[in-house]
Amino acid sequence: MTPSPIRPALIVFDLDGTLLDTHTDLVESLNHTIAALGLEPVSYDDLTHLVGHGARVMIERACRLRGHPLESNALPPLVERFVIHYAGNMPGRTEPYPGLVAAMDRLKSAGYRLAVCTNKMESLALGLIEKLDLASYFDAITGGDSFPVRKPDARHLTGTIDRAGGDIARTVMIGDSINDIAVARNAGVPSIAVPFGYSDVPVSNLDPDMVITHYDELTPDLVERLLREYAVKVAV
């Protein structure tokens, strides 16, 4: 009997701090938002403690950081203010991290599928990726409002895998924060961490299965090695 061909792997990327360096535009839109409350601006150094759970939580955390905790009914107009400013200035100064596009070309040439799983609103994620002419690379792009749950809930990642037509046994998650490593762990897929994003601790402390420091390292050979090693680890 002829053995079944190996199904191409699916590589799922986080967005902010993983695929794209969005920090300048996030800070500008966040400061535009909290300026409506007369609050002092936040800085890039603050960003690592603010991002990862979407605009709503980022605004809440920024206000708390500035000594201005919010009532829940104060959030909707602030979120709207953020979204209007952020969407209206896309892509701003956001750009892919060095080596990313070449890495995605390598993976696509090898037949791999690619997807995005982010806690950013889906409309903002899709709009940004389209503005940067990167949408054609991805078989699925899901955001924090695509499902009833979001990272680190495993169902955000498994839902993304389903939309991308992937196989959970042939999936790798790449991210820069605890949410990304945790959602991979919760879903039972191997994780790769990148250290150039917005984590407030060294990514090695998050216990990913692998760390890469540049997208030049992201090759089909590396992905296949990680999948083999992970399969052995979970079988023990």
Which tens digit of pLDDT belongs to each residue from 130-145? 999 999 999 999 999 9
pLDDT above 90 coverage of the chain, percent: 77
Parallel/antiparallel/unpaired status of strands 191-193 and 171-175: parallel
Alpha carbon distance 215, 210 (integer Å): 13
> Which stretch of 20-24, 65-69, 206-210 has the lowest confidence by average pLDDT?
65-69
Looking at the predicted structure, is the pLDDT value of residue 119 above 90?
Answer: yes
Looking at the predicted structure, is the pLDDT value of residue 154 above 90?
Answer: yes
Mean pLDDT of all residues belonging to the chain: 92
Can you give the pLDDT at residue 236? Answer: 73
Active site residue 14: yes
Q: Are 13 and 96 in contact (CB under 8 A)?
A: no
The DSSP 8-state label assigned to residue 107 in this structure reads H
**pTM for the predicted model, two decimal places:** 0.91
CA-nearest of 196, 222, 215, 172 to 21 is 196
CA-nearest of 166, 50, 185 to 116 is 166
The DSSP 8-state label assigned to residue 177 in this structure reads S
Can you give the pLDDT at residue 1? Answer: 41
Looking at the predicted structure, is the pLDDT value of residue 5 above 60?
Answer: no
Looking at the predicted structure, is the pLDDT value of residue 156 above 80?
Answer: yes
Looking at the predicted structure, is the pLDDT value of residue 54 above 50?
Answer: yes
Looking at the predicted structure, is the pLDDT value of residue 233 above 50?
Answer: yes
Catalytic residue among 14, 16, 176, 180: 14
Alpha carbon distance 192, 203 (integer Å): 10
pLDDT per residue as tens digits for the range 157-197: 999 999 999 999 999 999 999 999 999 999 999 999 999 99
Q: In the β-sheet with 171-175, what is the strand arrangement from edge to edge? A: 140-142, 113-117, 10-13, 171-175, 191-193, 210-211
Where, residue-wise, is CATH 3.40.50.1000 in the chain? 10-22+96-235
Looking at the predicted structure, is the pLDDT value of residue 2 above 70?
Answer: no
Where, residue-wise, is CATH 1.10.150.240 in the chain? 23-88
Helix boundaries (H) for the chain: 23-34, 44-47, 55-65, 75-88, 100-109, 122-131, 154-164, 178-187, 220-235
Can you give the pLDDT at residue 65? Answer: 87
CATH class of 10-22+96-235: alpha beta
Does CATH place domain 23-88 in 1.10.150.240? yes
pLDDT per residue as tens digits for the range 58-116: 898 888 888 888 887 888 999 999 999 999 999 999 999 999 999 999 999 999 999 99
Position 155 confidence tier, pLDDT thresholds 50, 70, 90: very high
Tokens of 95: 């750009």
Can you give the pLDDT at residue 77? Answer: 93
**Residue 212, Ramachandran bin (φ over 0: left; ψ between -120 and 50: alpha; else beta):** beta
